Amino acid sequence: MTTRKNAEPHEPSQNLTDALDELAKAEALLEEKRQAARKAVADELRASGLPHAKIAVLTPWTEETVRGIAREHGVAPKRKPTVRSIKD
């Protein structure tokens, strides 16, 4: 990258700085809401006892992402009931 000699630094306009500030606020709010939604998924898994796949279809995320959310929030995976054969 080259710079011109004796080039004066550009002072951004108020419009640009305001727009970038608003963008930063919106991105922070988006992250806050994303984390709240992820926590709600974990709470739903914990309360319902449903497997990850059943909850994933209710969300914009894949089953693998829901599994990651569960791990992130300490939600134990739902265990499939074992089928026992009865011997006579």
- The per-residue pLDDT for range 13-34, each reduced to its tens digit, is 999 999 999 999 999 999 999 9
Q: Domain for residue 53, yes or no? A: yes
Nearest to residue 50, comparing CAs of 37, 66, 61, 35? 66
Q: Please count the structural domains in the chain.
A: 1
Q: Domain for residue 42, yes or no? A: yes
Per-residue confidence (pLDDT) for residue 26, from 0 to 100: 98
- The per-residue pLDDT for range 45-54, each reduced to its tens digit, is 999 999 999 9
Question: Other C-beta atoms within 10 Å of 45: how many?
Answer: 24
Q: Domain for residue 25, yes or no? A: no
Q: Domain for residue 10, yes or no? A: no
Return the percentage of the chain with pLDDT > 70, whole number: 85
Q: Domain for residue 47, yes or no? A: yes
Distance CA 72, CA 14 (A): 41
- What pTM does this model have? 0.74
Residue 40 lies in domain: 30-77
Q: Domain for residue 69, yes or no? A: yes
Q: Domain for residue 87, yes or no? A: no
Coil, strand or helix at 80: coil
